[in-house]
Amino acid sequence: MRLRNQEMPLDPDVERELEAIDAALQGLRVAPDLEDFAELAVIARAERSGPDPDFAAKLDEWAAAGFLRESRPGAGDEQEGAVAASGLWERLRALPPRRLLVSAGAAATFVVAVAVGISVSDQLGGSNGGSGTGVRAASTQSSTGADGKGAEGTVTEANRDQIQPAGAPNVKALGARTSSSGGSTVYGRIQSFASGRAAHRKVAQNANLVLSTEPQNVRNVADGVFGVVDQYNGFVVSSNVTSGRLTGPRAIPAEGDGSRAPEGSGTIELRIPAQHLQDALGAMSALESAHVTSRTEGTIDITKRFNSAKAHVEDLEAERTSLLNQLEEAFTIEEQESLKAQLRIVENKLADAKDQLSRVQTRIRLVPVNVEIRGERGVDAGGSGSWSIGDAFHDAGRVLTVIAGILLISAAVLAPLGLVGGLAWITARAVVRRRREDALE
Amino acid sequence: MEGSHSRSRGVTETLAAAATHAPSDVDAAFEDLYRQSRDDVYAYVAGLLRDRSAAEDVTAQAFERAYHRRRTFKPGRGSRRAWLFGIARNAALDELRRRRRRARLVAEPEDETLVPPHEGAEVAVRRAALRAAIAELSGRERELVALKFFAGLTNGEIATVIATSETNAGTKLHRVIQKLRRACDEAA
């Protein structure tokens, strides 16, 4: 409609009359037939109100002072309060909309970025066991979850507290956290506390530890594991260690094993006294040149099994005692022979029952620990202290990835907010404009 | 010129004497605009509001807003005067809305000093008729009168201020002028 009006020229007569008005207002002469328009313009112009000289002077002074808000002329006492009250609003309105939007957007971006950053850093921090192992530690949980399906039920960090012995405090709630590489004993201490509280419960544990090292260090790491076993009075059930190559072509990555194939490896099955399990795992995790790829610990409550075996032994011992008493009181040979036969059977059963109970006790006392050593080139475990340019690129890539993620999430949060804010702003402007126009009705 | 500390010159000669820094182009342009438009803005606002006290406040408010937004002026969107009167219009309409919310203000009594005593009887009659006719106009029509005759804007500037095309503004203005002419002719 506006475009059409712009394109349509004014009626020539109308245009001529309007031009006469303009000319009269400028003090110019007009055509005789338009003198009444000129007279109207002059009379109407004479109706013009001029500012009061005092006000004009004050306004000039105020302008000279840079239009300071608090000294605005013309505002009555009643309005001065309103001016002061609406000072902030006026300041905001005085800002160019673009600058206001940019400022608001920057503030919102900052807030969202900080929130996302805190969230991301918390996730990284929760899995970061050290400067050299942080990135790998982040994947420990997933590999643990995938591997943690032992015969007796494996417990990961995430669900450890759900399988705590009955009556034990919630370890998670106490803030316990097992370091994936540092061999922290915090969890162990809390677990000991929990065990103390639930001493009547019988818990069987198991653990799996995967260590990565440079191929040439596989043997050294294996020796370190053996040393730890000796230190904590454990023993090696079986071991199979293959030394890695120092040089040679890079191996083709094995399927499902990330980007590196083992170059030298070892599998060691251990038994570690339960009371030393955490310390031993910590010591193995802290071995020089070794890098913890995965650490999984599991527990299972075998109290029922233990009590059953123990009760069976006690029952058989009672039966044996009874048979012995009967044998002492037996008179006839036949009766004695019969009791002796029963006694032999019971003693055999008792031996089996004791053996069973012993196995259960051993299972509780000695924890099976499987240690896998992987020889991988370029692992460069943190313990060696060196840090290559490849690590720098890797870390830089990680940092950039995190930053990109923060920006992406920020954009995802801000885009709809900006859209809603923009629509609200447009709507508000339209409403204000409409209300202003209505004021003229 | 964000406050008195940074303002190095003003719109008066007194200020110019106290100047310590050369004004920027924007500040100089605003200074010129203020000098040229001070009375016109007041006349327009007073004609719209018909209240001298409110007109003074709105005029001051309009210049204050314009001063703080002086760097947002876009030459492509119209003249500086049109831009200034757009700001003044918004301030005046806001004031009208406030007054409507509070109570309908009775228009101020006519200022007798506006009628020159030496004026002829016929002109005085026409003047009175015109004044009465203006008072009878709707708010939109009275605004056009104020913009044209009191503020002295061109039709193009009026179009920019009321956000319409120049042709449309001219057409509306012509209708109002015809109304006033009829009123004056009837009185004569």
Q: Does residue A333 or residue B186 have the better pLDDT?
A: A333
CA distance A171 to A165: 11
In the predicted structure, residue A274 carries a pLDDT above the cut 70: yes
Q: Which of B12, B42, B134 sits opposite A51 (nearest CB)?
A: B42
Residue A300 sits in the same domain as residue A362: yes
- Would A5 be classed as within a structural domain? no
Q: What is the mean pLDDT of chain B?
A: 80
Residues forming CATH 1.10.1740.10 domain(s) in chain B: 1-108
Of A196-200, A270-274, A370-374, A416-420, the least confident: A196-200
- Would A204 be classed as within a structural domain? yes
In the predicted structure, residue B100 carries a pLDDT above the cut 50: yes
Q: Which of A17, A55, A67 sits opposite B64 (nearest CB)?
A: A67
Question: Chain A residue closest to B112 (CA)?
Answer: A47
Q: What is the 3-state secondary structure (H, E, C) of A371-428?
A: EEEEECCCCCCHHHCCCCHHHHHHHHHHHHHHHHHHHHHHHHHHHHHHHHHHHHHHHH
- Cα–Cα distance list, A58 to A72, A75, A137, B71 (Å): 9, 11, 73, 24
pLDDT tens per residue, range A80-138: 455 555 566 666 665 656 667 777 777 877 887 777 777 666 555 444 433 333 333 33
Give me the mean pLDDT over the A341-367 stretch: 92
Residue A178 sits in the same domain as residue A250: yes
Give me the mean pLDDT over the A244-254 stretch: 48
pLDDT tens per residue, range A52-64: 999 999 899 888 8
For β-strands A366-375 and A203-213, DSSP reports them as parallel
Can you give the pLDDT at residue A85? 53
Residue A205 sits in the same domain as residue A139: yes
Cβ A180 vs Cβ A129: under 8 Å? yes
| Sheet with A203-213, side-by-side order of all strands | A235-242, A265-273, A366-375, A203-213, A291-301
Residue A101 sits in the same domain as residue A195: no
- Would A327 be classed as within a structural domain? no
- Would A412 be classed as within a structural domain? yes
Report the percentage of chain A scoring pLDDT > 70: 66
Residue A106 sits in the same domain as residue A165: no
Judge whether A201 is closer than 8 Å to chain B, CB to CB: no
Judge whether A33 is closer than 8 Å to chain B, CB to CB: no
| CB–CB contacts below 8 A, A to B | 184
Residues forming CATH 1.10.10.10 domain(s) in chain B: 109-188
Residue A146 sits in the same domain as residue A123: no
**In sequence order, what are the residues at sequence separation of 6 or more whose Cβ sits closer than 8 angstroms to the Cβ of residue B85?**
B37, B41, B44, B147, B151, B153, B157, B161
Q: Does residue A157 or residue A231 have the better pLDDT?
A: A231
Asked if A64's CB is within 8 angstroms of B15's CB, the reply is yes
Give me the mean pLDDT over the A294-319 stretch: 91
pLDDT tens per residue, range A129-188: 333 333 333 333 333 433 333 333 333 433 433 333 333 333 333 333 333 444 444 445
CA distance B172 to A66: 38
- Would A28 be classed as within a structural domain? yes
Residue A98 sits in the same domain as residue A14: no
Q: How many domains does chain A have?
A: 3
Residue A164 sits in the same domain as residue A269: yes
Q: Which of B47, B166, B177 sits opposite A21 (nearest CB)?
A: B177
CA distance A81 to A84: 5
Nearest residue to A46 via CA among B113, B51, B139: B113
Q: Which residues of B touch A36 (CB under 8 A)?
A: 181
- Cα–Cα distance list, A19 to A14, A235, B175 (Å): 9, 112, 14
- pLDDT interval class at A226 (50, 70, 90): very high
- pLDDT interval class at A288 (50, 70, 90): confident
Residue A36 sits in the same domain as residue A146: no
Q: What is the reported pTM?
A: 0.50
Residue type, A42: V
In the predicted structure, residue A227 carries a pLDDT above the cut 50: yes
Residue A117 sits in the same domain as residue A225: no
- Would A283 be classed as within a structural domain? yes
- Would A232 be classed as within a structural domain? yes
Q: How far is A410 from chain B (nearest CA, A)?
A: 30
Can you give the pLDDT at residue A386? 65
CA distance A130 to A382: 8
Give me the mean pLDDT over the A200-204 stretch: 84
Structural domain containing residue A428: 91-129+399-441
Assigned CATH for B109-188: 1.10.10.10
Q: How far is A417 from chain B (nearest CA, A)?
A: 26
Residue A178 sits in the same domain as residue A157: yes
Q: Does residue A111 or residue A274 have the better pLDDT?
A: A274
Residue A221 sits in the same domain as residue A369: yes
Can you give the pLDDT at residue B144? 93
Question: Chain A residue closest to B116 (CA)?
Answer: A46
Expressed in percent and rounded to 5, the helix, strand and coil fractions of chain B are 70, 0, 30
Q: Which of A6, A43, A45 sits opposite B167 (nearest CB)?
A: A6
Residue type, B152: G
Nearest residue to B151 via CA among B38, B6, B50: B38
DSSP B42-75: HHHHHHHH--HHHHHHHHHHHHHHHHHTGGG--G
The CATH architecture to which B1-108 belongs is Orthogonal Bundle (1.10)
DSSP state of B1: -
Can you give the pLDDT at residue A258? 45
Can you give the pLDDT at residue A49? 87
- Would A32 be classed as within a structural domain? yes
Can you give the pLDDT at residue A47? 86
Asked if B60's CB is within 8 angstroms of A62's CB, the reply is yes
pLDDT tens per residue, range B124-152: 888 888 888 888 888 899 999 999 999 99
Q: Which of A8, A10, A431, A440 to mutate to test the interface with B (most CBs of B within 10 A)?
A: A440
